[in-house]
Amino acid sequence: MYAVYSLCLANLRKKKIHNGLIGLLILLSTLLLATSVTVILNTNNLFTEMHNKTHGSHEMLTLGNELHDPQKVHQWWNEQEGVTSSELVPFRTLGGITNHRGKESSAGLSAIGLYMMNTPARPYAVDELIFAQGNESLNPDKGDIWVPTSIAYLYDISVGDTLGFTTGENDFELKVSAVIVDIPYGGPFPSGARIWMNHQDYSEQFQAMQGTDQYLMGLRFDDYSQSPSYWEQFEKDMGTPYLDSKMNFGEMTAFYLIMNKAIGFIMIFLGFVMMVVALFTIGFTISDDILSNYKTIGVIKALGLSSRRLIGVYLAQYVLLAIVSIIPGLIASHFISNVIVESTLSSLKTGTNQVTLEGNLLSLAVGIFVFILIVLCVFFFSNKARLVEPMQAIRYGMSESDNSTMSKRISAKENLMISFGRVPLLVVIGLRNMLKNKKASLLMMLLAAIMSAVLVLGFILLNSLSSSSMKQTSPLWGYDASDVILQVNNKSAFSRAEFDKEILSDSRIKNIGWIGGINGVVSSERNLNAYDSDSQPPMNFSISVIDGSYDEVGFTTLRGENPRNKNEIAIGIKVAKQLNKDVGDVVEAYIDGSKHSFMITGVYQSIANMSNSARITVDVVKVNRPDYNNLDAVFINLKEERETDHVVNDLNVKYKESASAVKQQTLLDSTYKQAVASLILPMSIMGLLFTGVTIIIVYSISRINIRKESKTYGIYKSIGLTSTKIRLSVSLGIVALSAIGAVIGMLVGVYILPLILGSILSDYGIAELPLIMHWGGIIAFACVAMISAGLGSWASSRVVATTSPQILVIE
């Protein structure tokens, strides 16, 4: 046993740097795997915990007075056992915050759709509000409002700030008295937010505003899986499907979970890759050590040390390394996970309820899993020590079969007609170094490929979500591609006929398209009096209504085309999947209370509502309502994009009492800047980790190869070859090798990894991940792998320059 202990310590002392690097690899793979598991687990747990704490709704109904009587709907749900319903909360919609702290608000704030709530007294049976900042109270005092964390944290709104609003007819300011967690409308990437007002302020500001109150009502089911049966009963009792808009639990949770699922997937994938690299490195090191010390092992075995104890030397060495490396990796993963979860779920964070991570046992299981993999790898490769025969080892320094093979190779090379005689010397030395150390070369090429894939994927994701790229990809995310969007805030002071006449006579304008929203329902194919337990429940989805052309304002489809006639419809991929319909099929739907039959002309994707949506023309609604005019936004395309700022300013000045204009780029920036911020940290960490690991491992492997070839390099120096040329030849060979790996990694990062990531986003209504391939940047990031490998190999070859030829030959 003492012999095993002594040899283990000798191995650790002899290769301090190399063992340290392997330990670092184990640490990093543990870190990535444990972090990814912790992030995914806590994302679901933290949201579920907060949802339960607030008695969060599973479905949110929006009710007007046209399709259903809100009081009757509310009464029906109050009578249902197993369902808790909230109060009917009146609200009016406004088109953004006009000023913040007395100054004009940012473009993002001014573009957010606002639900101005007539706040009932707390506590609430469903969707209770959690106070993150400010004093908790039953309702806001006069002159005060509560704002959600989703916009407060994103736009630096604090208690005591004043926010300005406009109804078109009247401008008013209110003071923020509290910042609250509002689960249904408080997720990341906010395009809308609920502003909770005092009852008296609400009455004063909106009593003269055109239109009537709408209502929000939340439903919380004891067993959410029973929701379809309740809606079937609703349709039976009311004689019609629910025709107003409805937001389900999946839509509420989507943006809370999407970023961390994407980040978790990337980290799990890269963690496994890092683990494979660590195992490959361990296997390479053990195999190389056995071959390099073949004669020594033969002598030790001849002296009586058994093969089992030789294997025990390697097991003891790497078990110790694993324990020392895994524990810090698990500890570090806790802190990094905390940073990632806090940045992506910041809207759930309160002053008194800081994010506390769970899953320590699962992280420990990850550490044990990594430990077991290392032990199995060490046992597999160290088992080669059993094959060492003492007599052959002492005589040949290798097995007799290997010696015979090597002799044949030498003879074959001497008889070759073609040789490296005409190839430059530096190239010969570099190629010889790679060909003689095939396993090491394979490992370095694999490292370059992995690093290139990681960097390229990170660059593609961040570049595709950048401001400059979003305008190009917005149609593939389900948005328009217009230049300017004008939102009508006060219809009583706005004349559409005059606006159309003036805007179309403007020489800067190319085309316009008026758009609005309406709710659609596809009811199950059956008689209302004959209920089938296997029938599908009614499906509610939002519908875009356009007076103009979808194609002109930039909306696109995955298959088919956008609707042009009143009997045509384009549907989102989630609707198509649930209805089992595709282009050319016929679908019947209730729209605005009337049943219509449509031919499906196209299928598209949209992340805004997880593709639970459809598109129709305004002619469909005008069949039953010829005076329909609920189109409250207009998309404007310009002949010259550089005129965008001027057009926006002109429109805001001219229609300041009734409408607000904003660049489409501004809306996209406000929506996606949070996604970019969430991605930068984890992608930067992973990019730096893989860059550092590549440099370190290339350095370590090159150092081993140089030590094995020290005598050869000593001879080179003694016959006049300079150290710089030797180092350069070695480095050039490794750079050429890493270039092959970088090309492979670049292709993986461009084509394979986005495809896998896209499968994760399919649950969120995205079938094809919209990416911008900036090949200049892709090639530049792929080249970083080559540069890293070159730096590692150049640094490792310094021993050639600092050691005299005589000592190298002696070694």
What tens digit of pLDDT does each residue of 719-735 get?
Answer: 777 777 777 888 888 88
DSSP, collapsed to helix, strand or coil, labels residue 270 as helix
In terms of average pLDDT, the best of 222-231, 347-356, 469-478 is 222-231
With cut-offs at 50, 70 and 90, classify the pLDDT of residue 35: confident
Task: Assess whether pLDDT exceeds 60 at residue 353.
Answer: no
Tell me the average pLDDT across 598-603. 93
State pLDDT tens for residues 102-161.
787 776 777 788 889 999 988 898 999 989 888 888 989 999 999 998 888 888 888 989
Q: How far apart are alpha carbons 771 and 44 in whole angstroms?
A: 27
Give residue 527's pLDDT.
38
Task: Assess whether pLDDT exceeds 80 at residue 83.
Answer: yes
Give residue 400's pLDDT.
44
Residue with tokens 């324990």: 323
- 454 within 8 A of 686, measured Cβ to Cβ: yes
Give residue 530's pLDDT.
39
Task: Assess whether pLDDT exceeds 70 at residue 319.
Answer: yes
Give residue 43's pLDDT.
73
State pLDDT tens for residues 496-527.
888 888 888 888 999 999 998 888 888 655 43
- 742 within 8 A of 448, measured Cβ to Cβ: yes
Task: Assess whether pLDDT exceeds 80 at residue 757.
Answer: no
Report the candidate in 447, 270, 275 with the shortest Cα–Cα distance to residue 369.
275
State pLDDT tens for residues 785-805.
888 888 888 887 777 766 665
Can you say how many angstroms the Cα of residue 419 is from the centroid of all Cα atoms in its chain?
Answer: 52
Q: How far apart are alpha carbons 73 and 522 in whole angstroms?
A: 19
DSSP, collapsed to helix, strand or coil, labels residue 546 as strand
Task: Assess whether pLDDT exceeds 50 at residue 531.
Answer: no
Task: Assess whether pLDDT exceeds 60 at residue 397.
Answer: no
DSSP, collapsed to helix, strand or coil, labels residue 221 as strand
Q: How far apart are alpha carbons 254 and 268 in whole angstroms?
A: 21
Give residue 633's pLDDT.
87
Give residue 534's pLDDT.
46
With cut-offs at 50, 70 and 90, classify the pLDDT of residue 537: low
Tell me the average pLDDT across 392-399. 48
Give residue 492's pLDDT.
72
Q: How far apart are alpha carbons 566 and 575 in whole angstroms?
A: 19
Percent of the chain's residues with pLDDT above 70: 82
Give residue 176's pLDDT.
93
Is pTM, for the whole model, over 0.85?
no
Contacts 24+ apart (CB under 8 A), 766-772: 766/477, 766/605, 766/607, 766/611, 767/558, 767/573, 767/605, 768/476, 768/558, 768/605, 770/464, 770/473, 770/476, 770/477, 771/460, 771/461, 771/464, 771/473, 772/460, 772/463, 772/464, 772/469, 772/472, 772/473
With cut-offs at 50, 70 and 90, classify the pLDDT of residue 355: low
Neighbour tally for 322: CB within 10 Å: 25
Q: How far apart are alpha carbons 369 and 361 in whole angstroms?
A: 12
Average pLDDT value over all residues in the chain: 79
Task: Assess whether pLDDT exceeds 90 at residue 177.
Answer: yes
Q: What H or E segment, with its residue span, contains residue 302?
A: helix 294-302
State pLDDT tens for residues 685-705.
777 777 777 787 788 777 777
